[in-house]
Amino acid sequence: MRLTPKARAERIEGTILDGDGQLRLKIAVTAPPEDGKANASLIACLAKRLKIAKSAIQLESGATSRLKTLVIEGAADDMSAKLDALVD
């Protein structure tokens, strides 16, 4: 994921290729990048859009970076389909 904090609106902006050539989902949230607020907002946004519990999403790495790695619990095929639907 690539997170943009302090955006005007919460939205999924599509996908981007990072410097390593990895495809990442780009998400904007209105929360500021302080005290974990933007990370919590990111998880809440994804949970809402994927229709899963917030507790099913864990921040694996990137707590203080714009580039995040998340672990999402659930069947891989189901989560992959849901994520694909977010960017279509």
pLDDT at 11: 94
Domain ranges within the chain, ordered by starting residue: 2-87
In tens digits, what is the pLDDT along the chain, a chain of 88 residues? Answer: 999 999 999 999 999 998 889 999 999 999 999 999 999 999 999 999 999 999 999 999 999 999 999 999 988 888 889 888 888 7
Predicted local distance difference test score (pLDDT) of residue 40: 97
**48 Cβ contact list (under 8 Å, min separation 6):** none
Q: What is the CATH number of domain 2-87?
A: 3.30.1200.10
Q: Are 58 and 70 in contact, with CB atoms under 8 Å apart? A: yes
- Look at residue 86 in the predicted model and tell me its pLDDT: 83
In the sheet with 23-28, reading across from the earlier edge strand, the strands are: 2-4, 23-28, 11-17
Q: What is the pTM of this model?
A: 0.90
**Residue 50 to residue 82: CA distance in whole angstroms:** 6
β-strand 11-17 against 2-4: which pairing, if any? unpaired
